[in-house]
Amino acid sequence: MDTTPHDDAAPRIDEHGRPEPPFHGSETATLLGFLDFQRTTLAWRTDGLDDAALARRLDGHPSEMTLGGLLKHLAFVEFFWFEVTAHGTPASEPWVSVDWDADPDWDWHSAAEDSAEDLRALWRESVERSRAVVERLLEAGPAALDATHPAWGGREQVSLRWILTHMIEEYARHNGHADPLREQIDGQVGE
C-alpha cells in the first residue's frame, strides 16, 4: 500500500481499488473512510468468483463459513445496524420476512442457495441503503455522531459513532476470515 501523505480532499486508491482513509480528516471523515476501506476490501476478496467458489468452505476445517456467507451476513449486518438501529425503520427484504427463530444463522446458511450475482447485488444494495441512512443522519452535523439510537430491542442505546466503529471492526474481522478462503480458491492472498 502506498503510504505517501496526500491531500484528504483527493483520496488515494490503492492497487486493489480501495480508497485510503484520510490521514488528517475529521472524526466523521476518518470513520467513514475506514469503513469504506473495509467494505472495499470485502469486495476485492470476493471479486470475480463464481457460485461454486463463493460456496466453498475451508478444506479440513469444521467451519461452515464461505465467502458467499460473508457477503450475505455483512449485507444483513449493514441492514441491522443502519436501517434497523440507526434509522429505526426496517423495510428491506429479504431480512424482514426471515423467521430468525427457526434459523438464527439464516444469513449464513441461505447464501448457498443464492447466485454470486445475487449475493453481490444484495450486499451492494445494503451498503447503499446504509450510506443513505448515514448521510441523512449526518445532515445534523458532527453532533449526529453523539446522538443515540435504541439497540437490541430498546435494552441499550448506541451512538452513531459506536455503530460506525463497530462496523469497521465487523468488516475487519470478517475480512480476516475471507483471506484463507480466497487463498484456498485461487491463491490470491490478502494483506
Among residues 5, 4, 38, which one has the least CA distance to residue 19?
38
Average pLDDT, the chain: 92
Based on the structure, what is the number of domains in the chain? 1
Structural domain containing residue 146? 27-186
* H or E element that contains 169: helix 160-186
Residue 4 included in any domain: no
Number of Cβ atoms within 10 Å of the Cβ of 43: 17
Please state the pTM of the whole predicted model.
Answer: 0.91
Residue 7 included in any domain: no
Residue 41 included in any domain: yes
Q: What are the tens digits of pLDDT across the range 55-91?
A: 999 988 888 899 999 999 999 999 999 999 999 988 8
Query: Which grid cell is 175?
Result: 475480512
Give the CATH number of the domain where residue 55 resides: 1.20.120.450
Residue 6 included in any domain: no
Q: How far is CA 6 from CA 10, 12, 20, 21, 23, in A?
A: 8, 7, 10, 10, 8
Q: What are the tens digits of pLDDT across the range 28-58?
A: 999 999 999 999 999 999 999 999 999 999 9
